[in-house]
Amino acid sequence: MAGVSRRYPMLRRTRAMWVSRRVWQPRLVFWIGALAIGLVSVGFAVLADKAQDLFHALTGAPGGWRWYLPLLLTPAGFVFCAWMASAFFPNSQGSGIPQAIAARHLRDDDDRTYLLSLKMVAGKIGLTIVGLFCGASIGREGPTVQVGASLMLQAARWGGLTQARGLILAGSAAGIAAAFNTPLAGIVFAIEEMGRTYEARTNGLVLTAVILAGLASLGLLGNYTYFGVSHDTVSFASDAGLIVACGVIGGALGAAFSVLTLKATRRIRRWSRYTPLKRTLLIAAVCGFLVAAVGLAAGGLTFGTGYAQARSAIEGTPLPWYFFIAKFVAGVATGIAGIPGGIFAPSLAVGAGLGSALGVLFGSSAGIAALLGMAGYFAGVVQAPMTAFVIILEMTGNHDNVIALMCASMLGYGTARMISHEPLYHALSRVYIADAIRRKRAETAATAPAQPEAA
């Protein structure tokens, strides 16, 4: 063969080109997939903001007759989203992070396709936008993780890449990085939350995906901080009590959110086993009405992501003392309704409201209190303290408070672990893994040859 190559140089060049294509084609597809995550994340963010603004414009200001429109619009929207998710986009419900975690544990590509696919991308984005248009207390950041993982897994299929687990991790990290413009938080999230058994060989995949998705986001939106720039600095001499309170109370409240969501979700699944669609829609209608009622009682503050309220608190304007309670109830009701939507932004809003209320009690700066409350509560919900303080640091652009936020996050995490031993996302991911196992067993049983009856 070597002699043939020497006699025919064209054959040698053709083989070199083939080898080069085999090496570079998968990389090119991977890079395109990472850029696509950034572009899709930006489009998703713009549409989500417009849907939320349209809801507020449609319902009008408090006092007018349109103010009561959510009592009809929100339940109807919840029912529509739950029906579409059950009938056309199964496994699109909820945040999307548990589905991405489950897909990393599944070995069969068909099982992963049930959780991560281009069809899922369309359904997740569309139904999350509809949910925000109806006033649901959801965010787009968790769904962006499922979208990013789906896009990266599809790119892997097209490019012939075989590292499915690493690519799902990379797509998830890129989704977080592009959603918040927080590249470090995307990497930490991949290590701490998505991959509890992190593999060093995925470093390059995660870093490259985060960089390319971040470049796509920066190219369209420019460099920005999610909550603006915070200039307040924690004084340990005077704010030590506030740090402890935000960490412990925030962690306990975050754990309560996780426990309530998990127990309610499991009970609803058992209750809906025999008539799943009918009872799923009934639950969605009840939850939608509860979210609408809480929103009206709170003056409209709890509808949507809670981004505006959290930013207002960080900038120094205290929130009403009842805001965190109302937003907490709206978040639980939305989380168990069976509609697509994340809990990142609403959780940060609850934490900001809690910190704001504690800041008034301790006589501290509203901005500092909001940051510490966000760290404690968010670490309690997801039980990922590194992700909590890193993401808040990057979203506010203030690195002077790193030690204080670390303390609040660790206190929140420790308190939550004493109340709930199951991290929310990982506990929910086991539901999808169990569904995949049951589906595989059912398919095996259906295709197995019938056994002859005993004489």
Q: What is the pLDDT of residue 79?
A: 96
* Burial state string for 136-151 with b = 16 or more CB within 10 A and e = fewer than 16: bbbbbbbbbbbbbbbb
pLDDT band at 82 (very low <50, low <70, confident <90, very high): very high
Identify which has the larger pLDDT, 361 or 436.
Answer: 361
Q: Which residue in 150, 133, 38, 162 sits closest to 97, CA to CA?
A: 150
Q: Going from the N-terminus, what domains does the chain have, and what CATH number goes with each? A: 29-221 (1.10.3080.10), 236-435 (1.10.3080.10)
The whole-number average pLDDT for the span 16-31 is 63
Give the distance from CA 191 to its chain's centroid: 15
Q: What is the pLDDT of residue 224?
A: 65
Q: What is the pLDDT of residue 379?
A: 93
Concatenated DSSP letters of 100-147: HHHHHH---HHHHHHHSSHHHHHHHHHHHHHHHHTT-S-BSHHHHHHH
d(CA 156, CA 148): 12
d(CA 247, CA 407): 7
Q: What is the pLDDT of residue 202?
A: 59
The whole-number average pLDDT for the span 288-304 is 93
Q: What is the pLDDT of residue 64?
A: 60
The whole-number average pLDDT for the span 207-227 is 72
List, in sequence order, the alpha helices (H) in 298-384: 307-314, 323-335, 344-362, 366-382
- Residue 52, pLDDT above cutoff 70: yes
Q: What is the pLDDT of residue 228?
A: 66
Dihedral angle sign, alpha carbons of residues 134, 139, 142, 147: positive
CA atoms within 13 A on the CB side of 281: 10
The whole-number average pLDDT for the span 367-392 is 90
- Residue 77, pLDDT above cutoff 90: yes
Identify which has the larger pLDDT, 83 or 141.
Answer: 83
Q: 196 by DSSP, 3-state: which?
A: coil
